[in-house]
C-alpha cells in the first residue's frame, strides 16, 4: 500500500516572536472558521496586522474573526501574478516571430528571397532569439546588469557590439504592444520601490488607471486584481521593525517543511508532522507523539 503524503496548507506565524503559532492541514473556510472560532475573542482582538497571499478565504475569514486587524497582502504573490501574465504575452510575441521565421525558412528552400523578404526574415530571427534567450533580463533586480555604461561584447546574431542594456532595450522596442507592457512592468516595479503607506493610495490609483487603459485583456484583468486588493496593497507598505510587512519568513519556513517531509519520505499522521514542524522551527516544545490509530498503521 502506497504511503499517503500530507500537504500543509496553512501556517500561522507570529512576526514579533518569529515563531510558528500553529499549522493547519487545510486552508478551506470550514477549517479556518473552526480554528479561529476556538480562539478567544480577546486574543483575536490583539492582532494588529496580518499578511497573507491572495487566497480569498484568508480575506473572508479575517473580516469575520479578526475584525480589528489591518489586512495586507504579500507583494511577492502580487508580482508573481503579474509575472504570469507578462510571461504569457512575452511567449505569444516570441511565437509570432517564430512563425514568421519558420515560414521564410521554408520558403528559402524553394527560392531566393527578395531583399525586403530577407530583411523581414532577418528581423524575425533576431527578435525570436532575443525573446527566447534573454527573457531573464526582465526579472533581474540588480540594476548594475542593465547599466548602459557596461562593457559591450560582440553578438553574432545581432552582428554588433552590445551589452545587456542594449538587448533589453531592443526587446522592449521591437514590438509596440510589448513595449507598452514593458512600461507597465516598470511602473509596477517603481510603485513598490518608491511608494510609502502615505503615498501608496494615489500612486496605486494612477497605476490601476494605466493598466485599465492598456489594450491587452491580461493587463485589464490585472487592473481588476489591483482594485480588489487595493486596501491590502496600500497597508502592505506599513513599516514594522524597520521593514515592510511581508511573508518572507514564512516562505523560508515552507522550504524547511519540504525538507522535513522529504527526509521522512512523507507522513501519514498529520499531528506527528505538525509537532515535528513546530519543534524544528520553534526549537522548543513537547515532542511526545500520540499513538497511531489502528487504521493509520
3-state secondary structure of 277: helix
Ranges of the chain with pLDDT below 50: 1-5, 287-297
Task: Determine the pLDDT at residue 106.
Answer: 93
Helix (H) or strand (E) holding 181: helix 176-194
Q: Where are the domains of the chain?
A: 10-74+242-296, 79-233
Bridge partners of 244, per DSSP, are 239
Maximum Cα–Cα distance across the chain: 81
Q: What is the pLDDT of residue 294?
A: 46
Say how many C-beta atoms besides its own lie within 10 A of residue 4's C-beta. 10
pLDDT at 273: 87
Separation CA 260–CA 273 (nearest Å): 8
Specify the 3-state DSSP secondary structure of 221.
helix
Per-residue pLDDT, 36: 93
**Neighbour count for residue 267 (Cβ, 10 Å):** 19
The percent of residues above 90 in pLDDT, for the chain, comes to 57
Task: Return the pLDDT at 1.
Answer: 35
Amino acid 284: pLDDT: 60
- Say whether 24 sits in a helix, a strand or coil: strand
Residue 150 CA: distances (Å) to CA of 11, 82, 147, 171, 201: 44, 29, 6, 18, 37
How big is the CA angle at 265 (ends 21 and 275), to the nearest 5 degrees? 20
CA distance 214 to 279: 50
Domain 10-74+242-296 belongs to what topology? Nucleotidyltransferase; domain 5 (3.30.420)
Query: Across all residues in the chain, what is the average pLDDT?
Result: 87
Residue 70 has what pLDDT?
Answer: 92
Q: Is 20 in contact with 282 (CB distance < 8 Å)?
A: yes
In terms of DSSP bridges, do strands 160-162 and 153-155 run parallel, antiparallel, or are they unpaired? antiparallel
pLDDT (tens digit per residue) in 150-184: 999 999 999 999 999 999 999 998 888 899 999 99
Strands (E), 148-253: 153-155, 160-162, 239-240, 243-244
The CA-atom distances, in angstroms, between 185 and each of 134, 164, 168 are 16, 18, 13
pLDDT of amino acid 142? 66
Contacts of 286 (CB under 8 A, 6+ apart): 275
Amino acid at each position: 500500500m502506497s504511503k499517503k503524503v500530507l500537504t500543509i496548507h496553512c501556517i500561522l506565524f507570529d512576526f514579533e516572536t518569529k515563531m510558528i503559532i500553529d499549522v493547519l492541514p487545510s486552508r478551506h473556510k470550514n477549517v479556518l472558521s473552526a480554528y479561529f472560532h476556538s480562539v478567544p475573542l480577546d486574543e483575536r482582538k490583539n492582532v494588529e496586522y496580518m499578511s497573507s497571499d491572495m487566497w480569498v478565504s484568508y480575506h473572508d475569514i479575517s473580516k469575520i474573526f479578526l475584525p480589528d486587524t489591518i489586512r495586507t497582502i504579500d507583494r511577492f504573490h502580487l508580482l508573481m501574478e503579474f509575472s504570469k501574465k507578462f510571461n504569457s504575452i512575452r511567449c505569444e510575441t516570441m511565437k509570432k516571430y517564430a512563425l514568421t521565421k519558420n515560414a521564410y525558412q521554408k520558403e528559402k528552400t524553394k527560392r531566393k528571397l527578395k531583399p525586403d523578404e530577407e530583411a523581414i526574415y532577418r528581423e524575425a530571427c533576431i527578435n525570436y532569439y532575443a525573446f527566447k534567450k534573454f527573457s531573464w533580463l526582465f526579472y533581474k533586480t540588480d540594476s548594475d546588469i542593465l547599466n548602459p555604461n557596461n562593457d559591450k561584447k560582440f553578438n553574432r546574431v545581432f552582428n554588433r557590439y552590445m551589452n545587456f542594456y542594449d538587448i533589453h532595450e531592443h526587446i522592449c522596442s521591437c514590438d509596440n504592444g510589448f513595449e507598452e507592457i514593458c512600461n507597465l512592468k516598470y511602473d509596477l516595479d517603481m510603485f513598490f520601490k518608491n511608494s510609502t503607506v502615505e503615498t501608496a493610495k494615489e500612486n496605486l490609483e494612477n497605476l490601476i488607471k494605466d493598466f485599465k487603459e492598456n489594450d491587452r485583456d491580461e493587463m485589464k484583468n490585472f487592473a481588476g486584481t489591483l482594485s480588489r486588493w487595493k486596501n491590502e496593497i496600500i497597508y502592505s507598505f506599513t513599516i514594522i521593525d524597520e521593514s515592510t510587512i511581508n511573508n518572507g519568513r514564512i516562505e523560508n519556513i515552507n522550504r524547511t517543511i519540504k525538507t522535513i517531509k522529504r527526509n521522512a519520505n512523507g507522513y501519514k499522521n498529520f499531528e506527528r508532522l505538525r509537532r515535528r514542524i513546530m519543534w524544528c522551527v520553534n526549537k522548543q516544545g513537547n515532542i511526545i507523539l500520540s499513538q497511531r490509530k489502528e487504521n493509520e498503521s
